[in-house]
Amino acid sequence: MKKNTVLIIGAGAAGLMAAHLLSKAGKKVTVLEARNRTGGRINTVNNESFFKETELGAEFIHGDLPVTLDLLKEAQLPYRSANAEMWRYKDGRFDENSMVIDDWDMLMQRLDELQEDIPVWDFIERYFPGERYEELHNSVWSYVSGYDTADPRNASTFALRNEWEHEEMEAQHRVQGGYCTMINYLSNSCKSNGGEVFLNAVVKQVNWQPGHVVATLTDNTTYEAAKLIIALPLGVLQAKAGETGAIDFEPSIGAHTTAIQQMGFGAVIKILFAFENAFWLDAPHPNMDKMGYLFSEEEIPTWWTQAPNHSKVLTGWVGGPAAWEKAGKTDIELRDEGLQSLANIFNANTEELKGKLIAYRIMNWTADPFTRGSYAYDKVETPQGREVLSKPLEDTIYFAGEYLYTGTAMGTVEAALSSGKKTAEMIL
């Protein structure tokens, strides 16, 4: 049994940020990670000839986010622009920079008048009923499920109002070399300051009392510490007893268990396609080389290029209820849905596209047992849950993760890093 000052479960952005800061401050830190790699929902594909610096998980820095950019500066890691035009494909035609939604101003006005929080789908059906607003219904559903990866039937209207009111089309960035360069920096920093990071370490049980924690792995190895940080994805914390990755707390953590179920956790599937040539540039549209993001009504509705960089890679994205419905599909089934979606959009032959496909990777985060979804979103009862989870249990068990973040960059790496930083500061 190894004794530590702080034990951290989960080597994603939140857990490693906490490990980096605590070990730098002289604490004896051990990180236990269930996967065979660090990074959690960050997973850069960088060692394959077809995919270079391509992200299976988190990909963008959405704006000039302080914690992320400060960390990149500290680690001397450069980043590059990911600014590109947003296009829409509908009714057989491409619209450049056509993201205007009919009745959006009226929607925002009604949102401002709302006094009591309700799920956003209840709000839409109550205040914008009937066929007259069908376009608005479709737009809100696809935006909430696509961008927020949330179920509109559960997502908080107040939280979405806050998000939409503070939405600025800020600069988008990608980390040069991929987000895993940042993860490697945090992990190496922890180790160089005397900390340890163990992979394939699946925690099944935590026995605790004030000031003392014992974590038992599935192979019955045990680790002992004065304090514990749980930096697991919310989907794993919400897993039922006995499911892969679920942790049994002894004694139970009562109010915190209830709070975990009050949080919303989305669903997503991400598809990477590498083609022998950038066939989409041949589409009969003069500015196709400017297209960065493409939104459609296909089975795999959202696609993006590596613009402004030139690349033969296309990334597909499906989130929310549609991703939950597809969670049980095989990689080949998802590949074929992706190819069919692209064939429909670009008026191409599916078999021809399949012939041009030289490599593909499917990341079904929703079916992944150590993630079980995408990232957090607020339900109506989430603020109460977040308040409980933001406070440590008996100054012994702490929680860290993007789901605890309260700023405007919800569901991002910035949110995870901020939470890890805040938790480390509480302990210090």
Residues annotated within the binding site are: 33-34, 203
| Residue 287 vs residues 46, 193, 274, 316: alpha-carbon distances, Å | 30, 51, 21, 21
Helices (H), 147-305: 157-165, 180-192, 234-237, 254-261
The rounded distance, in Å, linking the Cα atoms of 41 and 11 is: 10
**Cβ(283)–Cβ(94) below 8 Å:** yes
DSSP-derived pairing of the beta strands 291-295 and 85-90: parallel
Binding residues for FAD: 33-34, 203
DSSP-derived pairing of the beta strands 248-250 and 291-295: unpaired
The rounded distance, in Å, linking the Cα atoms of 17 and 422 is: 10
Residue 247 in tokens: 């942790």
Per residue in 93-111, is it b (16+ CB within 10 Å) or e — as a string? ebeeeeeeeebeeebeebb
Give the three-class secondary structure for 96.
Answer: strand
The rounded distance, in Å, linking the Cα atoms of 297 and 304 is: 15
Q: Residue 49's CB: how many other CB atoms inside 10 A? A: 8
The rounded distance, in Å, linking the Cα atoms of 29 and 393 is: 19
DSSP-derived secondary structure for 375-408: -EE-BTTHHHHHHHHTS-BTTTEEE-SGGG--SS
Residues 6+ apart with CB under 8 A from 221: 201
